[in-house]
Amino acid sequence: MRSVSIIGIEMTNFGRLEKSFKEIAAEACVGAMQDAQVPPKQIEEFVLGNFSSGTLVQQETIAPAISNSIGLPRIPATKVEGACASGGIALRYGYQMVANGLRDFVLVAGLEKMTAVSTPKATETLIEAEDREIEGRTGLTFPGFFALVTNRYSQRFGTTREEIAQVSVKNRRYGAKNPKAQFRKEVTIDDVINSRLIADPLRLLDCCAISDGAAAAVLCPTEIARKFSKEPVEVIGISQVTGRGAAFEYEDLTGFDSTKLAAEQAMRMARVSTKDIDVLELHDCFTIAEIVASEDLGFFTKGTGAKALQEGQTEIGGKIPINPSGGLLSKGHPIGATGIGQVYEVVQQLRGSAENQVSDAEIGMAHNFGATGTVCVVSILKR
């Protein structure tokens, strides 16, 4: 198999965008090709991560629609879907094509336009990522699921409401400096715990927001990457794992098998350990999700993630800087775009051009998590 590198990236602003889904996608895709200095005629395949375009923008067959709109009319164009991990899956598919020698240049992207429908409709759509025959008809939403995780974690490890709220405080502080983030205002612990109740004990500022946005990357064989980019970033590890499909299937709601296994497989492939990772973009869909995932990924032992946060170990300059972009809690969460958006942020860090730069970052990780842990993609990148 060939080594694969990212030679071009772009990401739109995340938030309520007054643009069509094609315009949003074009901004990211064309920008990534320009960054890679690769003209459209050289792109051999297009892979799009997208969750629910049929419901949210009334457009199925969305990958060919976008491919045609950006001047890629006759190449294979395929949508892949795995709830919130759709973008990570797109990266993995593109990686496999290049690694196996099937293609030399692949454009991968993630897209979601969510604000064209009402919040209740968007919430109803998100529930479609659950197993409809098991939990989807019970009324359990994703805030409800992660509220269960929060309560169980707090009961088991004695973690306080204020400690969990600190995740939002940290990420909103970083997000305030990210020009592409949906929310660019710092918050306090009191702001978080006094914000509107969503699913007890989770409050509004514990939850990421529905958003519009897109991100894209151009992949090619590492051996020719420097012909196109002065700062190529190699994909040295990537893994996708299927986890459990419903809350009742977990013996312990304080951890997720899919994250643990995906991290183990990706690090084994990359021949690195957690000690080698300099920066981590982690799927903080809710405040508790960052704490739990930081443990599942192997950076902290079970039950110590909140303490590590309080000690500053997840800050820039700490043991493992987590979400210096501001994460989903600041950037927003346009479902299909998030996974590639995380990769965009890691590449920026490894290029040394991030807004909240981690000093001398050489290896970064992206953790893209979908549904109730039903799917997880972990990617490891190296400059």
Positions marked catalytic: 84, 333
Strands 233-242 and 4-11: antiparallel
Q: Helices in the chain by DSSP H: which ranges?
A: 21-36, 53-56, 62-69, 86-99, 119-127, 142-157, 161-175, 189-193, 222-225, 257-270, 287-296, 305-310, 327-331, 338-351
144 CA to centre of own chain? 21
Helix orientation angle between 287-296 and 161-175, rounded to the nearest 10 degrees: 90
Buried b (16+ CB within 10 A) or exposed e, 287-309: bbbbbbbbbbbbbbeebbbbebb
Strands 106-113 and 45-49: parallel
Within 8 A by CB and 6+ apart from 122, the residues are 56, 114, 115, 210
Within 8 A by CB and 6+ apart from 81, the residues are 49, 50, 51, 52, 89, 336
Helix (H) or strand (E) segment spanning residue 233: strand 233-242
3-class DSSP string for 48-74: EECCCHHHHCCCCCHHHHHHHHCCCCC
Amino acid of residue 247: A
**DSSP secondary structure letter of residue 246:** S
CB distance 87 to 338 below 8 Å: yes
Measured CA to CA, the distance from residue 265 to residue 7 in angstroms comes to 24
Partnered with residue 8 across adjacent β-strands are 218
Partnered with residue 323 across adjacent β-strands are none
Prior bond of 201 cis (ω within 30°): yes
